[in-house]
Structure 1
Amino acid sequence: MSGSSTLPPPLRLQRAGALATAELDARSRRSPDYAAENEALHALAQALAASDSAMLQKLVDTALELCGAGSAGISLRELASGPISAYRWVAVAGRCANLAGHVIPTDDSPGGVAIALGLPQLFGYPKRHFDCLAHVSPDVTEELVVPICGAQEPLGALWVMSHDDHRFDGEHRRILTSLATFTRAALTIAEAKANAEARATEAETARNALAEAEDAKDNFIATLGHELRGPLGPIDSALEAAQKLAEGSPAVLSALAIANRQVRQLKRIVGDLLDAARSRHGKLSVRPTYTLLGDIVKDAIAVVSEETEQRQHHLHVALPPYPVTVFADAARLTQVIANVLGNAVKYTPRGGEISLHVKAPDPSTIPEHDSTPRQAVITIRDNGMGVPGDHLPHVFDLFSQSNSARNAADGGLGLGLSVVKYLVQAHQGDVSVYSDGEGRGTEVILRMPIVLRSTVEHSAPTTHGIPPIRILLVDDSADATEALAMLLTLDGHEVKRAQSGQEALSLVESYNPDVALIDVHMPGMDGHELAGLLRQQKQCQATRLVALTGSIDTDEIERSAAFDCYLVKPPSLEDLADVLHGTFKQASPETSHTQGPLDDAPRAVNG
């Protein structure tokens, strides 16, 4: 069609006689073949499970066959880079199959006219009136076009062409209209599927980004914890040595006591950081043994006793009148109770009331061959600042604190209860927190199936009691070795220091140590390599090799069998006594790397 006319395409076509739609009703209609239609629709329904292109191709093949046409196709609207839109032949069958992908204008095309009029249209010899059909071969006798309606705007058109004497009638219009309706449904399903897949991809991307952020946070927390452990070691050792040197000077001892309390607080924070990072990855496990619940509770109370006295709290403890044997990780359960007690002390005003009540069955009443664990219920209650109602559901979240807790002088990081929940669940138990609101106190209930019939004796207190020995310290940190060497020397030991593996090898040529304390992570020759070389030295055959590390994990232990045991930095005199006497408690690598709020938890593990 010439572009010189300014009339709208439908009007031009009517004047030119190209629109033959009225003839559809005048022509005699062939009888419907419902059996063929039903078979075709069944095949189309199956095609919905295929790809979008395969489904559209099946539609045009069906239109070609049911309408007896020479060509058939689907034109769908696509937006160009500018404001002008066009139709693309996305699926074509018959004589025009080679023109798949052909683009035609929206206004000056059979599809555009049918969509503009909003009804099916029949065109006679459309190539004479539409330049966009110039590439179609052979000539087109008639073209029947049915608009494909959309929810907001037309999606495109479904069309059939005849290239001979075949004429379309009202029955063909009905069939093509039915197929156009099916096409709309299929395109709607395809669009919904694409949108769902896009949202799923976005959700997956968001989940991956969140996981990466969580991993980055965990790595940062772990790294921060390890980095803080380094300077805390020499500071702790130096303070303990200074306290020995300052005996007889009350003013100095008082100042050192303040520093020592602050260092303990830092150690607890670092322990919580490392515990929180490990608990998120399931690496904070428990290693249960038979022990007495009363001993665990007493150890936990000892952890907070100094602070309780300073704040003049009234601590009421109610234990069963009989010894209760439990199968639990004593160090970790002590950490749990001490952590909850520590929160009660921290958030209860001076002179407040704190109670700890333990309810457990008498193991002697359990039948002899009954190994089913019974439940121990530990309730810790205070009349402190309480928890706001809207914050209760989040008390176990990492870094979760209410505004009042965050503003407290010793607010902490909000890590403790997250670790408590993890460790309680590792004992197959549960923990609940209750509060009537701010200023109305808090109640924490721990329930754990850990009570068994077996009985054990009360544990004996530990003391230093280390006879003078020869000790080799190997650490690339001069401050760490100097502080620990001073502390050990004041305790009566003979100490030699080395700041590298090579220097340590040179020292043992003339020095036969009873114990070698070796930093695992040193530049150049690391602790594992040095331990292996020391094992080859005749003079070190009886030397007890102890690894010093920021944290202990299974991979590190499996890396070298040269070490007799592992200690977490900084090693206390209690740790050294346990190592030398062979009385240190067995612990899994995951349970031994940090104390949380416990300074006296066992920190040694067999290599």
Structure 2
Amino acid sequence: MPGRSASPAVNRVLRTGTLLTAELDTRLRRSPAYAAENEALHALARTLNEPGTAMLQTLVDTALELCNAGSAGISLREHHDDQSGAFRWVAVSGRCAQLQGHLIPDDDSPAGVALELGSPQLFAFPKRQFDCLSVVGADVTEELVVPVPGTPGSFGALWVMSHDADHRFDSEHRRILASLANFTCAALTITQARAEAEVRAEEAEAARNALVAAEARKDDFITTLGHELRNPLGPIDSALAAAQKLAAGSPAVLSALAVANRQLQHLKRIVSDLLDASRVRHGKLSVRPAHGLLGDIVKDAVAAVAEGVEQRQHHLDVTLPPYPVTVFADAPRLTQVVSNLLWNAVKYTPPGGDIALLVDAPDPGTIPEGDSTPREAVITVHDNGDGIEPTLLPRVFDLFMQSPVARTRAEGGLGVGLSVVSYLVKAHQGQVAISSEGIGTGTEVTLRLPIVCRSTVEHAAPTTHGIAPARILLVDDSDDATEALATLLALDGHEVKRAQSGLEALLMVETFTPDFALIDIHMPGMDGHELVRLLRQRAQCALTKLVALSGDSGTMSGPEPVADGFDCYLIKPPSLEDLADVLRRSSDREGRVDGY
């Protein structure tokens, strides 16, 4: 029995004889209907996936039927902001069905008493002792209340009411109600867990969306930053080249310009890495394989790092097969891969160190005729430089991954080069692996590329900036973007005119017929598309090769002819290599030049 600490409600029902719980074990017990109970529990189990209120309503309907009661319901605990508590009739069946949602106090109600006593309780005429039941229209002769267990505290109570003096509850009803209360506990626990899981899933989804949005903003920023940095690099590059020619007789000036040029080339490599990383993220860095010679690809890559090798006095040993090896690959992209690996070796090998590049590939002449299966070329770059910590090896191809050693070097880069290398090697259906025994032990990178084929091609001509003299029109609303390039082209013997608007260009071609016109697409007023349409209408420009200039590399994703009358296009600002290639291939209207 409860002690002196019992609540007023418990003391009241004990004093008035309202509690008849002890009689449950002395009353005549009806025979258990296990078959009906089992069928009801199976039916309840099938409702576990339904919304919580629907499942609870089915449960009280079952309690009403199995206990042959007049009313049945579930009272669940609620806690309010003012710290007060209450029970809400979340599901009600029978004559009290219209009272669903009714609130009763937790400290002065049958459910509160049952929970305080911690066991099922039987109340006689409970309306006489509890004002909260005054809303029940019919008389209540008995109410059987069973706590619904929970963790850490009870969820509430399951109850049945009798409105008929001839129907009294017994221990069998208590057993049935206790069984249903346990089922209610399980169902509410599942519902609660599902709700918490849904909240966590929503939070995780929101976090994922926020991360995706942040990644997108970062990619957009990197792309914009790359283009914004790249725009002034072209004029600076051209101005440096022009200054070197103008200062041919001044060794001191040439020495200073050489320093500036080396740093500019380093900055261009960083910007190229930024743009390539952005293209990789958006799936726009594609490869367009063609037949070529592996030796030419390797020689171009070696030429790209020759200045760095000479400056650091490295010993570079290049070993090629004694026979020409024909490959089916994207030569510029594969050159980029090999030069990137060589440049890493140059950066992280101390002055006077050793770098070795070994190419192992089968002789295409030994491949049987009609056999189109690609053979494997293996390219290995080894150095005796700084090496890589073993813990970093699994992550060296991750974007923006850098070792502590790299961060201490002025030419350390951004940690995107190897990520681009990995992407391009996979695009060639190849594999790349990197190994090192640790700091100070050097590094070895191995490329395996299934690109060797039987087809034979001639050696490519050596790369040169030499361009046959031509009449060139530069059209750009930015004067700085064309001034240095115009000066450099003029020093090379070209006749160059500049226009800062479409209208100025139209007036200029009345007296100056260009062989080539390089036109910025995005100009205020008359844009490049409108200008090229009007130039095509002029007879004197019938043979002029019209080249589009755009800072948006994302729109240039394939080798198809350029729309709106352009013969080809260059990414803005154009490098000398890009321009030389366009002028040499002026008869090829299908070509695409993708400068880096």
- Band the TM-score falls in, shorter-chain normalisation: over 0.9
| CA–CA distance in structure 2, aligned partners of residues 586 and 55 of structure 1 | 71
> What is aligned with 2:568?
565
Preserved CA contact (<8 Å) 1:287 1:587: no
How far the C-alpha of 1:224 sits from its partner, in A, is 0.5
How does 1:196-595 map onto structure 2 within 5 Å?
A: 196-554=197-555, 560-582=563-585, 593-595=594-596
Specify whether residues 585 and 553 from structure 1 end up closer, same or farther in structure 2 by C-alpha distance, changes over 3 A only.
farther
Deviation string 1:271-306 (CA, Å, 9 cap, x unpaired) is: 000000110111101001111111111111111111
How far the C-alpha of 1:588 sits from its partner, in A, is 8.7
> What is aligned with 2:85?
85
> What is aligned with 2:102?
102
How far the C-alpha of 1:231 sits from its partner, in A, is 0.8
Specify whether residues 510 and 191 from structure 1 end up closer, same or farther in structure 2 by C-alpha distance, changes over 3 A only.
same
> What is aligned with 2:9?
9
> What is aligned with 1:53?
53
Preserved CA contact (<8 Å) 1:237 1:570: no
| CA–CA distance in structure 2, aligned partners of residues 520 and 257 of structure 1 | 33
| CA–CA distance in structure 2, aligned partners of residues 540 and 586 of structure 1 | 16
> What is aligned with 2:137?
137
> What is aligned with 1:168?
169
> What is aligned with 2:44?
44
| CA–CA distance in structure 2, aligned partners of residues 583 and 326 of structure 1 | 26
How far the C-alpha of 1:243 sits from its partner, in A, is 1.4
| CA–CA distance in structure 1, aligned partners of residues 331 and 110 of structure 2 | 84
Preserved CA contact (<8 Å) 2:574 2:595: no
| CA–CA distance in structure 2, aligned partners of residues 116 and 587 of structure 1 | 87
Deviation string 1:76-105 (CA, Å, 9 cap, x unpaired) is: 111101111111111111111111111111
TM-score (ref. length: structure 1): 0.94
Letter in 1 for 2:259: I
| CA–CA distance in structure 2, aligned partners of residues 382 and 433 of structure 1 | 12
> What is aligned with 1:603?
none
How far the C-alpha of 1:586 sits from its partner, in A, is 9.8
Preserved CA contact (<8 Å) 1:375 1:448: yes
Specify whether residues 227 and 587 from structure 1 end up closer, same or farther in structure 2 by C-alpha distance, changes over 3 A only.
farther
Deviation string 1:162-217 (CA, Å, 9 cap, x unpaired) is: 11122111111110000000010011111111121111111111111111111111
> What is aligned with 1:3?
none
Preserved CA contact (<8 Å) 1:71 1:162: yes
Preserved CA contact (<8 Å) 1:360 1:375: yes
TM-score (ref. length: structure 2): 0.95
How far the C-alpha of 1:560 sits from its partner, in A, is 2.9
Residue 125, structure 1, aligned to residue 125, structure 2: yes
| CA–CA distance in structure 2, aligned partners of residues 388 and 465 of structure 1 | 45
| CA–CA distance in structure 2, aligned partners of residues 421 and 318 of structure 1 | 23
Preserved CA contact (<8 Å) 1:118 1:147: yes
Specify whether residues 205 and 425 from structure 1 end up closer, same or farther in structure 2 by C-alpha distance, changes over 3 A only.
same
How far the C-alpha of 1:524 sits from its partner, in A, is 3.0
How far the C-alpha of 1:511 sits from its partner, in A, is 2.6
How does 1:178-189 map onto structure 2 within 5 Å?
A: 178-189=179-190
| CA–CA distance in structure 1, aligned partners of residues 421 and 123 of structure 2 | 79
Relative contact order (C-alpha < 8 Å, sep 6+): which is higher?
A: 1
Preserved CA contact (<8 Å) 1:285 1:588: no
Preserved CA contact (<8 Å) 2:234 2:575: no
How far the C-alpha of 1:110 sits from its partner, in A, is 0.6
| CA–CA distance in structure 1, aligned partners of residues 588 and 464 of structure 2 | 14
> What is aligned with 1:21?
21
| CA–CA distance in structure 1, aligned partners of residues 204 and 589 of structure 2 | 45
Specify whether residues 76 and 397 from structure 1 end up closer, same or farther in structure 2 by C-alpha distance, changes over 3 A only.
same
Letter in 1 for 2:53: S
| CA–CA distance in structure 1, aligned partners of residues 482 and 471 of structure 2 | 15
| CA–CA distance in structure 2, aligned partners of residues 199 and 558 of structure 1 | 51
How far the C-alpha of 1:568 sits from its partner, in A, is 2.3
Preserved CA contact (<8 Å) 2:562 2:569: no
Percent identity over the alignment?
Answer: 70
User: Which 10-residue stretch deviates more, 251-260 or 151-160?
Assistant: 251-260
How far the C-alpha of 1:494 sits from its partner, in A, is 1.9
User: Which 10-residue stretch deviates more, 358-367 or 476-485?
Assistant: 358-367
| CA–CA distance in structure 2, aligned partners of residues 585 and 282 of structure 1 | 27
How far the C-alpha of 1:537 sits from its partner, in A, is 2.6
Letter in 1 for 2:567: D
Deviation string 1:462-495 (CA, Å, 9 cap, x unpaired) is: 3344333221111111111211111122222222
How far the C-alpha of 1:310 sits from its partner, in A, is 1.1
The answer for unaligned runs of 5 or more in structure 1 is 1-5, 596-607
> What is aligned with 2:3?
none
> What is aligned with 1:599?
none
| CA–CA distance in structure 1, aligned partners of residues 259 and 212 of structure 2 | 41
Preserved CA contact (<8 Å) 1:375 1:447: yes
Residue 32, structure 1, aligned to residue 32, structure 2: yes
* Count of residues in Structure 1 that have an aligned counterpart in Structure 2: 589
| CA–CA distance in structure 2, aligned partners of residues 558 and 542 of structure 1 | 17
Secondary structure at the counterpart of residue 432 of structure 2: strand
Preserved CA contact (<8 Å) 2:568 2:591: no
How far the C-alpha of 1:594 sits from its partner, in A, is 4.3
Secondary structure at the counterpart of residue 513 of structure 1: coil
| CA–CA distance in structure 2, aligned partners of residues 416 and 207 of structure 1 | 27
| CA–CA distance in structure 2, aligned partners of residues 349 and 560 of structure 1 | 50
